[in-house]
Structure 1
């Protein structure tokens, strides 16, 4: 390797990683909450649903706003991605995160389902609120990316060694690219390509 040459790295979008857990948590929570409505539970349905609504709001807000200073600090110190760095596709990033967390997602769903026999729907709505919070955080990242006109990426090896968190201790800095790089739009959503004429 030539002196000063940086080794190429696999990179995955930060917003894609954040957004990856939103859908499975949301739908698992909605299903668990729906099943919970059918069970009277210990507290009764009314108390369970009211408690669940409060937990949904708290979870969504807490997840959405958690560790934002760390995201901002890493974004400010982002270095430009090299021409040899490999940008991971959105679908691959989502699949890898969900595959690595599938047992945790299943366990969370089963716990939420079982908790319905004590407090109907509450744990399911908490789970759904967590998913909603991740979606809100990804949207916030998308707004920052548009404002800065740069997409944020994290090294795959740092992510793998950090439980899948893009703001963990193993993550030293982000990489950045132009807004058109990769196949995911700001915020980690699917990029809508204009029809060719």
Structure 2
């Protein structure tokens, strides 16, 4: 489950920083200093909004989680990430282009908003990973229930759990380190 949340973090973070860097070289209508300061403020606001949005729904689904059965299909981490990124690639490209285009008004601000959304997703996945460590389980979403890459959408009725060493994802959606 945290893999789906974390899948969008990097494709928003790095292009957001690139758009902010491009925007820092454009004078813009408001000026570089005001644009970057406004962007830093919007970065923090976006990070907080994304990181704490729908946390009640995530907690509710985690409380109602059931143990995954032998016949349940649990998708690999890499497949989940690839599917999410493929499904959202045009949206991500559009967000990057808008972030670069906003540099004409507020230099760097659009890129920092995009980077803030990526950082917020990473923070949300990390918080859920701490819950997984605390509960000593990994939470999964049935692949047929995920709608448009949303792990807490209307079709998701409850999460499923496995032991903490199942699959190829560590708690929080990171890659499991093999030793």
2:175 match: 190
Deviating beyond 4 angstroms after TM superposition, the runs of 4 or more aligned structure 1 residues are none
Aligned counterpart in structure 1 of residue 11 of structure 2, from 20, 24, 27 = 24
Q: CA RMSD in A?
A: 0.6
Provide the aligned length of Structure 1 versus Structure 2.
179
Aligned counterpart in structure 2 of residue 144 of structure 1, from 120, 127, 131 = 131
Aligned counterpart in structure 2 of residue 93 of structure 1, from 71, 80, 95 = 80
1:52 match: 39
TM-score between both structures, scaled by the size of structure 2: 0.98
1:170 match: 155
1:124 match: 111
Unaligned residue ranges in structure 2 (runs of 5+): none
Q: Is the 8 A contact 2:76 2:168 kept in 1?
A: yes
- When Rg is computed on C-alpha atoms for both structures, the one with the higher figure is 1
TM-score between both structures, scaled by the size of structure 1: 0.90
1:84 match: 71
Q: Per-residue displacement from partner, 1:99-131 (whole Å, max 9, x unpaired)? A: 000010001000001011111000100000000
Structure 1 residue 39 displacement after superposition: 0.3
Structure 1 residue 94 displacement after superposition: 0.3
Q: Is the 8 A contact 2:73 2:143 kept in 1?
A: no
Structure 1 residue 163 displacement after superposition: 1.8
Q: Does 1:111 align with 2:102?
A: no
